[in-house]
């Protein structure tokens, strides 16, 4: 199918870019990657508007890959493209040496291939393989600048990731045992006919827990704050923007929708885990003083929203989850770009050491306010619509208490994000920041671009709804 | 073709945005953009006039489209609005003083035009409400641009209008529920209990936009605090047109009201009360602009009364009065603007004898004042006569109140004209000059229309008003020319003479033009009410504020108690939890692993319970 | 059955040793042994294809990578070795318990399937089999190898230069 290009082009590019004539040409590989992310965005739009073109196989009978794409995949592929693009823009200023920049781009290519593979596959073992690719690539990305703290964070990430891998592999083994095959459809059939009730539950539980670790759902989130805050700025954008979400949340959504089906027990589990994650993530964010750490806890909390929406077990909940997925990857990437900008200019991540930066860095401050408001669900920004959809889905599926949690937690969200804004950008100018100037043009461009997407997706919500979100309801497998 | 319908909204809105970006160092550019934009808008309005088109773009979904429709009525209102917009834009080219946030003003001004056009053209209730609310925001901004204390007035206007807009929103919800559609041209509701409620709510929105009592109280305040151009344009012309337009739409098209229904009668009561009370307040004002502002309120009463009568003469009179009022009232405010610019004050105590110094302004004032007082053959006379005729058909009391209002109107304008333009020139205004040409031209054009719509009233009625009522099967032609009721005309003339006599009586008694109405002011019973009214006892907003203050005092005590609770409950508890979260994250991966395994165990147990 | 059990227990013991031992090199060797034992188990359980892969990749290739990476590191000082030896017993005290308890849990799960697993078609060429049935996984393997190469390049190369 046409979208197999999204896996093969990165692989091919990495091979070609590391051939002798192009080796160590960081600029070439950088622009190649930039073009690829743009091409991915374009391809997704092309496929959304020309659904019949998806099945075209560019390689003929030479290579037939068992891939499939639906509306869920499109949303995620689009997020991957956008976040990848932004990551590259940010990376320009944060990767120290040229050779490292070349390596960074190569590993990023591999990570993109892994992410795209996760999204496009319809076989649970292949899914696992690509999960590992993306995870391994992100370990390497975290330590790209060889800082001690980053190594430590990456190590914790690896340890917990291995636990997740173990769980997923055991689960896949059980599924293979029960269904005799690892294709989604066969396992789904096994859920209807098999007599191994307990094994199925065990396998589902293991897989869900694996996905929870990858996504950073409380209490599986221990690695996340450190990994986010200690990795270099572009990697944080990439990790927070798309990696953990695809690895954890997309996998969860895909498996629940295509394999498990929305069983009542799984729904209740997701609802509970979502509510706990939202609340504890937000509480964790309140107590932090480190810009990136606040955002990391906020990520945990927002991921809870997606899990909660999925747990409503309705078509609307599914599409709300996906829309929040997209929104979150945009506004969280934006916030991390802002944190990168302030960190680059003030050389600190401690919010107490900042203050009044709004006068010095107006564009950063303004875009960050937009992102915060979108995160807190203030109309007419995109975050408002997805939260509204989540709350409606919860109420409609008969879970008003969880809807209440979602609404109350969004007050907490507003509280910690506004207090962050106040401490960093508003108030009196900190004496240490008197010499600060606006961030580099590339960072400002990235921030403004993301802010425009956030505002645009909110204002043109009907278009987004009709093109991307509503088709998801059709593939809901209740 | 259909795209043309969007231009009256887009053109002013975009140019409004552009003006906002022009720095105040370049006033010429700002003014040029404003004048060009309003001229374009006027051209568009002329082009759209007599067209009957509608178009619709998908918008929010759920049956809410970006639907616009132009037909006789809306085209006519748009034309009137854009005429005023253009004239005010020309006038403003000299009036805007220095140290004024002119870019904001012009931007709000253009956006106001855009939103008004949008609200008039909208064929979808929600779309209309969208623009209607937008107007509220711009209104707030424009008032707040005025002199230093204006923010408070802006807040007052905002709260009053926002409350009535809220009523309107509920009304829209009920209407859409009853009729199952948001499309205005498809709504035709029979009278029912819910329908009546909806009508009342929508009418509250409409008449508060028009500035009727009891939603008027921000207008006199704004007359002093807000920029004069704003007052001349928005409350004097634009909001009257918009409010009465919407009132006419709901009472003629959207609801099937019978002539003698309770709703119509209550409209008439509101109209006549507004006429009388507002004009009596106007009579005792000692400030040029504030006096005009109370008249702006009072004149709305005639329109509401006219439309409320539900007889052809009344409705036509009401609509005709709407146009006429917009003309002469903005004209009067513009004369106030000239006086303020040339002398620096609008306090009638200080002014005097300006008629010789500013002859053209004086003439324009005379014509507009004669119009508003209903002197034949100016335009105000004809529309008032039609309203009288309609009112008389529904009850003598309404007619009597309207006629009394006319008496006080004439009396207050005699006082105003006498005090400002006649008499001795105070020494400090000895060297006052006539206003610049660009300010005179709009005034002159307006004065010309006062005369033209009076003498050629058949033109106005046939070409402008009659097409509006086409579907209501009224024939405006019956009321043109001097074929108005001779008896009523005679009464009107008697009233006018009585007002003149009253003025000379008062002038003789007190010896000062400005005190010519003081014998009414200090009349036995009236003086008490006047005193209380000056203390704002009857201002619903201030009553509301007082109630709110009292409630707030009570709430404060409750609040202390709750606050204490929150200090403990929310802050401490939240702090405790987030602190605990922080302490738990020790950074030891063994701990994290342990959590994950515990989590796994919980998940498995939880899921297996469902077996 | 008895042989299988013995192999399993041996597997666990070697795995424990891999974690507990003080030298990285010994850990790597222990891992290779784990893979070798696993291979034997797989042969006994009639999955020769998996066994061959396990032997070639996990027991052959990966230890080579490990050992080459370990040679790039700095050896511990005597004092640190003593410290490490003291700590490792306290640090991993729970591992045997976890292993034993999970073994007990697994005995309660009856994995008795009537459905025959799809046996690998041993008679066909492995390469063709893989290419036709699971090309994506193959691509995935290539990607993983590339990432590993870049990881070593990034983490270790510079360190060596610093020394």
- Indicate the helix (H) or strand (E) that contains C91: helix C78-91
| pLDDT higher than threshold 50 for residue B476 | no
The verdict on B16 and B87 lying in the same domain is yes
pLDDT at B186: 75
Q: What is the mean pLDDT of chain A?
A: 88
The verdict on B53 and B147 lying in the same domain is no
| pLDDT higher than threshold 80 for residue A281 | yes
Residue C115 located in a structural domain: no
> Which of A222, A270, A301 is most worth mutating to test chain B (most B CB atoms within 10 A of its CB)?
A222
What's the average model confidence in pLDDT over A2-16? Answer: 88
Contacts of A167 in chain B (CB under 8 A): 600
More confidently predicted of A425 and A80 = A80
8 A C-beta contact, residue B446 and residue B326: no
Q: Do A222 and B592 touch (CB under 8 A)?
A: yes
| pLDDT higher than threshold 80 for residue B534 | no
The verdict on B549 and B507 lying in the same domain is no
Among candidate residues B516, B538, B560, the one where a domain is terminated: B538
pLDDT at B479: 52
What's the average model confidence in pLDDT over B219-247? Answer: 75
Tally of residues, chain C: 163
pLDDT at B222: 73
In order, the DSSP letters of B177-194 are HHHS--BGGG--BPP-HH
pLDDT digits (tens, 9 = 90+) for B179-199: 777 777 777 777 777 777 888
Q: Do C147 and A136 touch (CB under 8 A)?
A: yes
Give the integer Cα–Cα distance in Å for B44 and B113. Answer: 13
pLDDT band at A447 (very low <50, low <70, confident <90, very high): very high
Q: Do A284 and B59 touch (CB under 8 A)?
A: no
pLDDT digits (tens, 9 = 90+) for B566-578: 667 777 777 787 7
pLDDT digits (tens, 9 = 90+) for A196-213: 778 888 899 999 999 999
Range name among B427-441, B517-531, B558-572 with the lowest pLDDT average: B517-531
Phi, psi of A86 (to 5 degrees): -65, -40
Q: Do B59 and A462 touch (CB under 8 A)?
A: yes
pLDDT at B99: 55
| pLDDT higher than threshold 80 for residue A402 | yes
CA-to-CA dists, residue B384 to B246, B316, B325, B493, B569, angstroms: 21, 10, 10, 12, 65
Whether pTM > 0.95 for this model: the answer is no
More confidently predicted of A190 and B96 = A190
| pLDDT higher than threshold 50 for residue C163 | no
Give the integer Cα–Cα distance in Å for B287 and A116. Answer: 74
- To the nearest 10°, the Cα dihedral for B454, B459, B461, B462? 170
8 A C-beta contact, residue B212 and residue B63: no
What are the residues facing A123 on neighbouring strands? A183
pLDDT at B481: 45
Give the integer Cα–Cα distance in Å for A323 and A267. Answer: 19
Give the integer Cα–Cα distance in Å for B235 and A367. Answer: 37
Task: Give A312's DSSP letter.
Answer: T
| pLDDT higher than threshold 60 for residue A173 | yes
| pLDDT higher than threshold 90 for residue A114 | yes
Q: Do C139 and A107 touch (CB under 8 A)?
A: no
Among candidate residues B538, B567, B586, the one where a domain is terminated: B538
What's the average model confidence in pLDDT over B36-41? Answer: 82
Give the integer Cα–Cα distance in Å for B338 and B361. Answer: 7
Closest by CA position to A188, among listed A140, A122, A282: A122
Contacts of B579 in chain A (CB under 8 A): 287
| pLDDT higher than threshold 80 for residue A285 | yes
Count: domains in chain C: 2
| pLDDT higher than threshold 60 for residue C118 | no
Contacts of A181 (CB under 8 A, 6+ apart): A187, C118
pLDDT at C119: 52
Contacts of B49 (CB under 8 A, 6+ apart): B75, B76, B78, B79
Give the integer Cα–Cα distance in Å for A59 and A50. Answer: 19
Using the Cβ of B592 and the Cβ atoms of chain A, whether some distance falls under 8 Å is answered with: yes
The verdict on B210 and B87 lying in the same domain is no
CA-to-CA dists, residue B148 to B100, B153, B222, B604, angstroms: 11, 10, 12, 68
Task: Answer positive or negative: Cα dihedral of A140, A141, A147, A148.
Answer: negative
8 A C-beta contact, residue B462 and residue B480: yes
Q: What is the mean pLDDT of chain B?
A: 76
The verdict on C76 and C131 lying in the same domain is no
The verdict on B492 and B343 lying in the same domain is yes
Q: Which domain, by its residues, includes B563?
A: 541-609
Q: Do A283 and B581 touch (CB under 8 A)?
A: yes
pLDDT at A41: 93
- Joined tokens for residue B438: 């660009």
The verdict on B283 and B307 lying in the same domain is yes
Residue C77 located in a structural domain: yes
The verdict on B534 and B556 lying in the same domain is no
HSE (CB half, 13 Å, CA atoms) of A166?
Answer: 10
| pLDDT higher than threshold 50 for residue B558 | yes
The residues in A 197-216 lying below 8 A from C, measured between CB atoms, are: 198-199, 202
8 A C-beta contact, residue A197 and residue A258: no
The verdict on C84 and C26 lying in the same domain is yes
Contacts of A270 in chain B (CB under 8 A): none
Residue with tokens 């807190």: A376
Contacts of B486 (CB under 8 A, 6+ apart): none
Contacts of C113 in chain A (CB under 8 A): 177-178, 196
8 A C-beta contact, residue B279 and residue B218: no
HSE (CB half, 13 Å, CA atoms) of C103?
Answer: 10
The verdict on B384 and B248 lying in the same domain is yes
Distance from CA of C158 to the nearest CA of A (A): 9
Task: Give B215's DSSP letter.
Answer: S
Give the integer Cα–Cα distance in Å for B490 and B398. Answer: 18
Residue with tokens 């146009």: B323
- Which among C111, C147, C158 is the nearest to A146, CB-wise? C158
pLDDT band at C69 (very low <50, low <70, confident <90, very high): confident
ipTM: 0.85
> Which of A287, A298, A392 is most worth mutating to test chain B (most B CB atoms within 10 A of its CB)?
A287
In order, the DSSP letters of C16-41 are HHHHH-S-HHHHHHHHHHHHHHHHHH
pLDDT digits (tens, 9 = 90+) for A67-89: 888 889 999 999 999 999 999 99
Longest dimension (CA), chain B: 102
pLDDT digits (tens, 9 = 90+) for B482-498: 455 667 777 777 877 77
pLDDT band at B205 (very low <50, low <70, confident <90, very high): confident
| pLDDT higher than threshold 90 for residue C151 | no
Phi, psi of A290 (to 5 degrees): -100, 125
Percent of chain A with pLDDT over 90: 38
Could you tell me where the beta strands, DSSP code E, fall in C22-157?
Answer: none
Contacts of A265 in chain B (CB under 8 A): 606-607, 609-610
Residue B94 neighbours by CB distance under 10 Å: 17
Q: Taking CB atoms and an 8 Å cut-off, how many pairs form between chains A and B?
A: 99
| pLDDT higher than threshold 50 for residue B66 | yes
Cα A16 to its chain centre, rounded Å, is 28
Contacts of A156 in chain B (CB under 8 A): 589, 592
Contacts of A202 in chain B (CB under 8 A): 604, 607-608
Using the Cβ of C105 and the Cβ atoms of chain A, whether some distance falls under 8 Å is answered with: no
Contacts of A208 in chain B (CB under 8 A): 603
> Which of A155, A171, A199, A209 is most worth mutating to test chain B (most B CB atoms within 10 A of its CB)?
A209
- Which among B577, B599, B611 is the nearest to A220, CB-wise? B599
- Which among B574, B597, B611 is the nearest to A201, CB-wise? B611
Give the integer Cα–Cα distance in Å for B315 and B306. Answer: 5
8 A C-beta contact, residue B228 and residue B337: yes
pLDDT band at C114 (very low <50, low <70, confident <90, very high): low
Contacts of B596 (CB under 8 A, 6+ apart): A160, A163, A209, A213, A219, A220, A222
Closest by CA position to A89, among listed A46, A33, A144, A137: A33
Using the Cβ of B589 and the Cβ atoms of chain A, whether some distance falls under 8 Å is answered with: yes
pLDDT at B482: 45
Using the Cβ of A278 and the Cβ atoms of chain C, whether some distance falls under 8 Å is answered with: no
- Which among B575, B597, B607 is the nearest to A265, CB-wise? B607
What are the residues facing B57 on neighbouring strands? B66
Max mean pLDDT range (A445-454, B136-145, B362-371, C50-59) = A445-454
pLDDT digits (tens, 9 = 90+) for A325-357: 999 999 999 999 999 999 888 888 888 888 888
The verdict on B599 and B570 lying in the same domain is yes
Q: Is the peptide bond before A380 cis (omega within 30 degrees of 0)?
A: yes
Using the Cβ of A130 and the Cβ atoms of chain C, whether some distance falls under 8 Å is answered with: yes
Q: Do B608 and A156 touch (CB under 8 A)?
A: no
Using the Cβ of B577 and the Cβ atoms of chain A, whether some distance falls under 8 Å is answered with: yes
Closest by CA position to B423, among listed B414, B411, B436, B435: B414
The verdict on B481 and B590 lying in the same domain is no
pLDDT digits (tens, 9 = 90+) for B97-146: 655 677 777 888 888 888 888 888 888 777 788 888 888 777 777 777 77
**Residue boundaries of the structural domains of chain A:** 263-478
Q: Do A287 and B579 touch (CB under 8 A)?
A: yes
What's the average model confidence in pLDDT over A379-401? Answer: 88
Distance from CA of A469 to the nearest CA of B (A): 14
Residue A320 neighbours by CB distance under 10 Å: 29
Contacts of A97 in chain C (CB under 8 A): none
Range name among A91-95, A279-283, A312-316, C87-91 with the lowest pLDDT average: C87-91
Give the integer Cα–Cα distance in Å for B70 and B295. Answer: 31
> Which of B603, B605, B606, B611 is most worth mutating to test chain A (most A CB atoms within 10 A of its CB)?
B603
| pLDDT higher than threshold 80 for residue B251 | no
| pLDDT higher than threshold 80 for residue C17 | yes
More confidently predicted of A206 and B320 = A206
Q: Which domain, by its residues, includes C137?
A: 120-163
What's the average model confidence in pLDDT over B88-95? Answer: 75
Among candidate residues B538, B553, B569, the one where a domain is terminated: B538
Give the integer Cα–Cα distance in Å for A232 and B357. Answer: 76
The verdict on B79 and B148 lying in the same domain is no
Give the integer Cα–Cα distance in Å for B273 and B538. Answer: 13
pLDDT at B468: 66
Percent of chain B with pLDDT over 90: 0
The verdict on B168 and B55 lying in the same domain is no
| pLDDT higher than threshold 90 for residue A299 | yes
Count: domains in chain B: 3
Q: Do C109 and A198 touch (CB under 8 A)?
A: yes
């Amino acid at each position: 199918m046409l979208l197999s290009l999204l896996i093969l082009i990165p692989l091919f590019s990495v091979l070609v870019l590391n051939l002798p004539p192009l080796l160590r040409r960081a600029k070439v590989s950088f622009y190649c990657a930039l073009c690829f992310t743009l091409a991915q965005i374009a391809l997704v739009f092309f496929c959304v508007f020309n659904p019949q073109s998806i099945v075209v196989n560019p390689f003929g009978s030479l290579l037939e890959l068992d891939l499939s794409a639906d509306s869920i995949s499109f949303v995620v592929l689009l997020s991957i493209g956008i976040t990848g693009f932004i990551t590259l823009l940010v990376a320009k200023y944060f990767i120290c040496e040229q050779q490292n920049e070349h390596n960074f781009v190569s590993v990023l290519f591999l990570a993109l291939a892994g992410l795209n593979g996760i999204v496009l596959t319809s076989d649970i073992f292949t899914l696992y393989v690509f999960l590992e690719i993306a995870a391994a690539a992100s370990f390497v990305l975290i330590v790209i600048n060889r800082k001690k703290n980053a190594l430590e964070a990456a190590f914790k990430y690896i340890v917990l990731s291995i636990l997740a891998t173990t769980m997923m592999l055991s689960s896949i083994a059980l599924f293979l045992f029960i269904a005799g095959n690892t294709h989604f459809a066969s396992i789904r059939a096994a859920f209807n006919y098999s007599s191994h009730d307990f094994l199925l539950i065990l396998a589902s539980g293991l897989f869900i827990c694996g996905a929870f670790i990858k996504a950073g759902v409380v209490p599986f989130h221990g690695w996340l704050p450190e990994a986010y805050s200690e990795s270099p700025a572009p990697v944080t954008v990439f990790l927070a923007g798309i990696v953990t979400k695809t690895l954890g949340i997309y996998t969860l959504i895909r498996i629940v929708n295509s394999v498990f089906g929305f069983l009542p027990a799984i729904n209740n589990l997701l609802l509970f885990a979502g509510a706990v994650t939202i609340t504890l993530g937000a509480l964790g964010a309140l107590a932090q003083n480190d810009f990136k750490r606040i955002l990391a806890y906020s990520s945990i909390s927002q991921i809870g929203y997606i899990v909660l929406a999925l747990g409503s077990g309705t078509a609307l909940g599914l599409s709300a989850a996906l829309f929040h997925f997209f929104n979150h990857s945009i506004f969280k990437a934006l916030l991390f770009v802002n944190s990168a900008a302030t960190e680059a200019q003030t050389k600190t991540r401690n919010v107490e050491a900042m203050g009044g930066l709004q006068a010095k860095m107006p564009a950063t401050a303004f875009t960050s306010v937009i992102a915060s408001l979108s995160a807190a669900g203030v109309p007419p920004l995109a975050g408002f619509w997805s939260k509204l959809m989540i709350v409606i889905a919860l109420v409609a599926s008969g879970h008003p208490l969880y809807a209440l949690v979602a609404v109350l937690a969004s007050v907490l969200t507003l509280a910690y994000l506004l207090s962050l804004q106040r401490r960093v950008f508003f108030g009196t100018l900190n004496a240490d920041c008197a010499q600060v100037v606006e961030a580099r043009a590339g960072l400002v461009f990235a921030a403004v671009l993301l802010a425009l997407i956030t505002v645009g997706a909110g204002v043109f919500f009907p278009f987004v709804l009709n093109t991307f979100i509503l088709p998801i309801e059709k593939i809901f497998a209740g | 073709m259909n795209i043309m319908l969007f231009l009256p909204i887009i053109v002013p809105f975009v140019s409004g945005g552009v003006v906002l970006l022009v720095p105040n160092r370049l006033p010429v550019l700002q003014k040029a953009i404003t004048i060009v934009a309003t001229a374009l808008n006027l051209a568009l309005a002329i082009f759209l006039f007599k067209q009957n088109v509608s178009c619709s773009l998908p918008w929010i979904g759920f049956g809410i489209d970006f639907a616009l429709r132009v037909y006789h009525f809306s085209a006519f209102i748009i034309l009137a609005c854009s005429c005023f917009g253009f004239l005010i834009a020309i006038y403003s080219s000299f009036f805007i003083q220095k140290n004024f946030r002119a870019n904001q003003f012009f931007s709000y001004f253009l956006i106001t035009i855009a939103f008004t056009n949008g609200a008039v053209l909208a064929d979808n209730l929600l779309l209309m409400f969208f623009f209607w609310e937008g107007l509220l925001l711009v209104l707030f901004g424009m008032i707040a641009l005025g002199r230093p204390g204006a923010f408070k007035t802006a807040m007052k206007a905002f709260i009053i209008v926002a409350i009535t807009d809220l009523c309107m929103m509920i009304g829209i919800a009920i209407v859409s529920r009853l009729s199952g559609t948001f499309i205005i041209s498809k709504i035709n509701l029979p009278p029912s209990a819910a329908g009546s409620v909806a009508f009342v709510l929508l009418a509250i929105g409409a008449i508060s936009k028009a500035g009727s009592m009891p939603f008027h109280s921000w207008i006199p305040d704004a007359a002093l605090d807000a920029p004069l151009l704003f007052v001349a344009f928005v409350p004097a012309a634009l909001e009257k047109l918009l409010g009465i337009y919407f009132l006419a739409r709901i009472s003629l098209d959207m609801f099937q009201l019978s002539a003698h229904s309770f709703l119509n009668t209550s409209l008439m009561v509101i109209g006549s009360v507004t006429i009388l009370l507002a004009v009596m307040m106007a009579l005792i004002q000692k400030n040029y602009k504030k006096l005009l502002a109370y008249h702006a309120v009072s004149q709305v009463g005639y329109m509401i009364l006219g439309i409320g009568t539900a007889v052809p003469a009344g409705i036509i009179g009401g609509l005709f009065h709407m146009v006429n009022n917009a003309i002469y009232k903005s004209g009067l405010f513009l004369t106030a603007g000239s006086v303020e610019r040339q002398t620096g004050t609008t306090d009638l105590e200080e002014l005097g004898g300006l008629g010789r110094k500013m002859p053209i302004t004086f003439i324009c004032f005379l014509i507009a004042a004669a119009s508003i007082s209903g002197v034949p053959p100016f335009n105000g006379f004809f529309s008032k006569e039609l309203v009288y005729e309609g009112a008389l058909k529904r009850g003598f009391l309404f007619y009597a109140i309207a006629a009394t209002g006319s008496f006080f109107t004439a009396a207050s304008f005699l006082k105003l004209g006498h005090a400002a333009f006649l008499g001795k020139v105070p020494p400090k205004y000895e060297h006052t000059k006539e206003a610049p040409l660009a300010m005179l031209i709009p005034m002159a054009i307006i004065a010309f229309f006062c005369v033209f719509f009076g003498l050629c009233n058949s033109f106005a009625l046939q070409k402008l008003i009659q097409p509006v009522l086409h579907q209501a099967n009224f024939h405006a032609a019956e009321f043109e020319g001097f074929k108005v009721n001779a008896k009523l005309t005679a009464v009107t003339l008697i009233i006018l003479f009585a007002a003149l006599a009253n003025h000379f009586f008062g002038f003789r008694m007190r010896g000062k033009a400005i005190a010519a109405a003081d014998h009414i002011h200090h009349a036995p019973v009236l003086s008490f009410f006047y005193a209380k009214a000056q203390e704002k006892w009857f201002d619903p907003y201030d009553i509301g504020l007082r109630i709110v203050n009292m409630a707030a005092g009570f709430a404060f005590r409750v609040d202390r108690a709750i606050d204490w609770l929150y200090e403990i409950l929310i802050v401490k508890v939240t702090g405790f939890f987030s602190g605990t979260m922080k302490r738990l994250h020790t950074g030891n991966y063994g701990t994290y692993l342990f959590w994950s395994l515990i989590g796994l165990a919980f998940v498995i147990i939880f899921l297996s319970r469902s077996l | 059955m008895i042989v299988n059990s013995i192999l399993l227990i041996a597997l666990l013991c070697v795995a424990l040793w891999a974690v507990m031992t003080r030298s990285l090199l010994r850990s790597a060797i222990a891992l290779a042994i784990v893979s070798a034992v696993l291979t034997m188990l797989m042969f006994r359980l009639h999955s020769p294809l998996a066994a061959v892969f396990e032997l070639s990749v996990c027991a052959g290739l990966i230890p080579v990578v490990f050992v080459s990476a370990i040679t790039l590191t700095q050896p511990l000082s005597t004092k640190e070795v003593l410290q490490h030896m003291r700590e490792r017993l306290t640090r991993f005290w729970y591992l045997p318990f976890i292993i034993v308890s999970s073994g007990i849990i697994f005995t309660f799960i009856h994995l008795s399937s009537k459905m025959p697993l799809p046996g690998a078609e041993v008679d066909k060429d492995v390469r063709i089999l893989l290419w036709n049935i699971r090309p994506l996984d193959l691509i995935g393997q290539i990607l993983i190898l590339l990432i590993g190469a870049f990881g070593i390049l990034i983490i270790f190369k510079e360190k060596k230069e610093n020394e």
